Amino acid sequence: MAEDELSRSSHSNPGKSLVNGIKTNPASSSPKSSFSVPMGPPVYVDLAYIPNHCSGKNTDPEFFKRVRASYYVVSGNDAANGEPSRAVLDALLEGKSQWGDNLQVTLIPTHDTEVTREWYQQTHEKQQELNIMVLASSSTVVMQDESFPACKIEF
């Protein structure tokens, strides 16, 4: 962009800047605003992978309000890095409570962790109220010299 174009665009939009290509008002921006999605209707999908191994770094209730999935995959297995994050699992409950309709949601943890076990036990009543089912699987996949827990999903 030429210098005069830059000057013109900043004068025509005083107090506005671009964050990820979206016009924002810096005075009202919060630190998380650079990760936010532009407002709009929710998106319905069959399967969604909770970002960043279910880390609380960039997934909040807004994600679950906007991305409405029949199945959410939780792949975190690193307690030292907060994966999966209890806050993200709680955000699922908060986000789902805003949907208005009681669609069935299935949560698919790929690892049996203390965080997911405790969350499941402590929020089981709320999960039932919100029509959330946690899929448990004792299946194991063996590939070459490696084995790991797995879930089978059929559509």
Percent over 90 (pLDDT), the chain: 33
* Phi, psi for residue 51 in degrees, rounded to 5: -55, 150
Can you give the pLDDT at residue 84? 84
Mean pLDDT over 44-51 rounds to 90
* Farthest-apart Cα atoms in the chain, separation: 64
Asked if 64 and 88 count as a contact pair (C-beta separation under 8 A), the reply is no
* Residue 53 pLDDT grade (very low, low, confident, very high; cuts 50, 70, 90): low
Mean pLDDT over 129-149 rounds to 80
Full-prediction pTM beyond 0.75?
Answer: no
pLDDT digits (tens, 9 = 90+) for 21-40: 444 444 444 444 445 556 78
- Contacts of 46 by beta carbon, 8 Å cutoff, 6+ apart: 69, 70, 71, 155
Cα separation, 15 vs 23, in Å, equals 10
pLDDT, the chain, mean:
75
Please give the single-letter amino acid code of residue 91: A
Tell which residue, 69, 151, 67, has the closest CA to residue 108. 151
Is the pLDDT assigned to residue 60 strictly greater than 50?
yes
Residue 76 structure tokens: 């975190």
Cα separation, 69 vs 63, in Å, equals 11
